[in-house]
Amino acid sequence: MKKFLWTSSLILILVLGIFLWWKFFFVFGEGVKAGSLNYFVKKGIIFKTWEGRMVQEGFQSPTSGALQSNEFRFSVTDPKVAEILERNSGKHLELRYQEFNGMLPWRGTSVFVVTEVLNVEETPGTERKNIPVDR
């Protein structure tokens, strides 16, 4: 009986370990998204994480007559990537991301984690101009 309990406990721990790895650490998908960075903030109560939202152009929908949200919500874990995103709000970006099956509180509030900024362009019509300010 002891051998059965020991073996079944070992199998249960192994299955639980594989499930947790698959749920939280297995990279389900990778890709690139492009759009205008709407906002990027660092927030959280216990775990301070960087969260962002990017708006993609177009109103495409898989069903006719319906509108699809072209909003990409993501998290960032790398401070260097976060620094680049903080300086480029409102610009057109291309971001490389990883998709996980589940989120972890210290990784952010999204299953999409941006790992790299591929390209940054000014949004057409929004070039910055130096405007003198009278004080």
Q: How many residues are recorded in the chain?
A: 135
- Is the dihedral angle over the CA atoms 10, 15, 21, 24 positive or is it negative? negative
Look at residue 120 and tell me whether its pLDDT is greater than 60. yes
Ordered by where they begin, the domains of the chain are 27-58+67-121 (2.40.50)
Give the per-residue pLDDT at 3. 87
Q: The pTM is what? A: 0.74
Give the per-residue pLDDT at 130. 45
* DSSP H helical ranges for 1-135: 2-24, 79-86
Look at residue 26 and tell me whether its pLDDT is greater than 60. yes
Neighbour-count burial for 98-123, b at 16+ CB within 10 Å, e otherwise? bebeebbeebbebbbbbeebeeeeee
Q: What is the spatial distance between Cα 83 and Cα 69, in angstroms, rounded to a whole number?
A: 27
Tell me the average pLDDT of the chain: 84
Look at residue 8 and tell me whether its pLDDT is greater than 80. yes
pLDDT tens readout for residues 58-100? 655 555 555 566 889 999 999 999 999 999 888 899 999 999 9
Pairing status of strand 92-100 against strand 71-76: unpaired
Give the per-residue pLDDT at 31. 92
Look at residue 52 and tell me whether its pLDDT is greater than 90. yes
Look at residue 57 and tell me whether its pLDDT is greater than 80. no
